[in-house]
């Protein structure tokens, strides 16, 4: 165990690890919750130039408190820009101005296709989920997509999606359309990090958290998970990262539960 190691919660672990993936990125499209935490922490650490763009239309937010929603009033007051929907989705997102989009999903498959629509059949679903929102647009047009999954198990990491809401590039290419973005290139979970080169290859396990075995990760995944030959170990959150996260980013512990 490294000398800087500090005990942390699962949310803190995911936020810290995701934040490091934003190194040197300029624009990130982030929803509320863990993505906001990760982006806000990255802004203080590995990506000082980072601009967070919110789906509500806010660019360059300077909130006085951690926002509770993507449209929280504190995001608007003091922001650099607030854009109407056609401008945000049409010019900013589809126009190719987003480096990294953060998405969540109920299900993910080996190619990073995402389901946020239904469990079961769309016409008579067992569970109706919120649906696409802007996820499909983020997948089509952000240069890369990072996914943070709170649960790494066979219900979420599936061999076959119940419904493909947001398709990765290979599915678009199969229909003769070349999307702007590379699809999902990083998946951060409680067990480790899955990654894809963005060239249409499968997600592979590239790192595990200390104490997690490859077998554990493979067992929790609903497909035959490939493992990178140079499999790494995720550096645990440092005391400095956790201090920033706890004291600066989310002192009210809105999301750090």
Partner 1 sequence: MPRSAPAQPDKTMTMREAIAAHVHDGGTVSLEGFTHLIPTAAGHEIIRQGRRGLTIVRMTADIVVDQLLAAGCVTKLVSSFVGNSSAGSLGELRRRIESAEGEPLEFEEYSHYGMICRYLAGAQRLPFYPLRSYAGSDLPSVNPAIRTVTSPYADERVHVVPPVNPDVTIVHAQRADRAGNTQIWGLTGIQAEAVFAARRAVVVVEEIVADEVVRSDPNRTVIPAHAVDAVVECPRGAHPSFAQGYYDRDNAFYRSWSAISRDPDRLQAWLADWVHGTADHAEYVAKLGPEFWARLEVGEALSLPVNYGRRL
Among 102, 146, 157, 163, binds partner 1 (CB under 8 A): 163
The stretch near partner 1 (CB under 8 A) out of 22-30, 127-135, 152-160, 196-204 is: 127-135
Cβ within 8 Å of residue 150, ≥6 positions away:
10, 11, 14, 34, 190
Please list the active-site residues.
Answer: 55
- Do the Cβ atoms of 165 and 122 come closer than 8 Å? no
Distance CA 106, CA 136 (A): 14
Q: Find the shortest distance in angstroms from Cβ 125 to partner 1.
A: 6
Among 136, 214, 226, 231, binds partner 1 (CB under 8 A): 136
Among 3, 7, 174, 215, binds partner 1 (CB under 8 A): 174
- Whichever of 241 and 250 has its CB closer to partner 1, that residue is 250
Q: State yes or no: residue 251 binds partner 1 (CB under 8 A).
A: no
- Whichever of 93 and 225 has its CB closer to partner 1, that residue is 93
Give the chain's radius of gyration (CA, Å): 18
Print the binding letters for residues 1-40 with partner 1: x by CB under 8 A, - otherwise. ------------------------------xxx-------
Q: State yes or no: residue 81 binds partner 1 (CB under 8 A).
A: no
Judged by DSSP in three states, 111 sits in: coil
Q: Find the shortest distance in angstroms from Cβ 60 to partner 1.
A: 15
Among 101, 134, 192, 237, binds partner 1 (CB under 8 A): 134
Distance CA 168, CA 179 (A): 9
Q: State yes or no: residue 168 binds partner 1 (CB under 8 A).
A: yes
- Do the Cβ atoms of 192 and 108 come closer than 8 Å? no
The CA distances from residue 11 to 33, 34, 193, 202, 253, in Å, are: 10, 7, 15, 26, 11
Residue whose structure tokens are 């999606």: 161
Q: State yes or no: residue 92 binds partner 1 (CB under 8 A).
A: no
The CA distances from residue 117 to 113, 135, 146, 185, in Å, are: 12, 11, 19, 21
The CA distances from residue 16 to 106, 130, 180, 239, in Å, are: 22, 27, 28, 11
Q: State yes or no: residue 122 binds partner 1 (CB under 8 A).
A: yes
Give the footprint of partner 1 on this chain (CB under 8 A): 31-33, 55-58, 68-73, 76-78, 82, 84-86, 89-90, 93-94, 113, 117, 122-137, 140-141, 163-177, 179-180
């Amino acid at each position: 165990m490294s000398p800087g190691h500090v005990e942390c919660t699962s949310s803190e672990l995911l936020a810290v690890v995701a934040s490091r993936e934003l190194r040197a990125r300029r624009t990130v499209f982030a929803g509320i919750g863990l993505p906001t935490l990760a982006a806000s922490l990255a802004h203080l650490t590995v990506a000082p130039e980072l601009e967070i763009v919110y789906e509500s239309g806010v660019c360059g937010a300077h909130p006085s408190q951690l926002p509770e929603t993507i449209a929280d009033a504190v995001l608007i007051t003091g922001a650099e820009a607030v854009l109407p929907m056609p401008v945000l989705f049409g010019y900013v997102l589809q126009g190719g101005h987003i480096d990294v989009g953060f998405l969540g999903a109920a299900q993910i498959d080996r190619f990073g296709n995402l389901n946020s629509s239904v469990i079961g059949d769309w016409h008579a679903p067992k569970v109706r989920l919120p649906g696409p929102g802007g996820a499909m647009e983020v997948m089509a047009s952000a240069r890369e997509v990072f996914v943070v999954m709170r649960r790494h198990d066979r219900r979420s990491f599936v061999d076959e999606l119940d419904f493909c809401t947001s398709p990765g590039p290979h599915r678009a290419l199969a229909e003769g359309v070349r999307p702007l973005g590379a699809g999902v290139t990083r998946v951060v979970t409680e067990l480790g990090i899955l990654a894809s080169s963005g060239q249409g290859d499968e997600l592979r396990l590239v790192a595990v958290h200390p104490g997690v075995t490859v077998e554990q990760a493979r067992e929790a995944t609903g497909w035959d998970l490939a493992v990178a030959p140079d499999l790494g170990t995720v550096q645990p959150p440092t005391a400095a990262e956790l201090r920033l996260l706890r004291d600066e980013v989310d002192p009210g512990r809105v999301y750090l539960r």
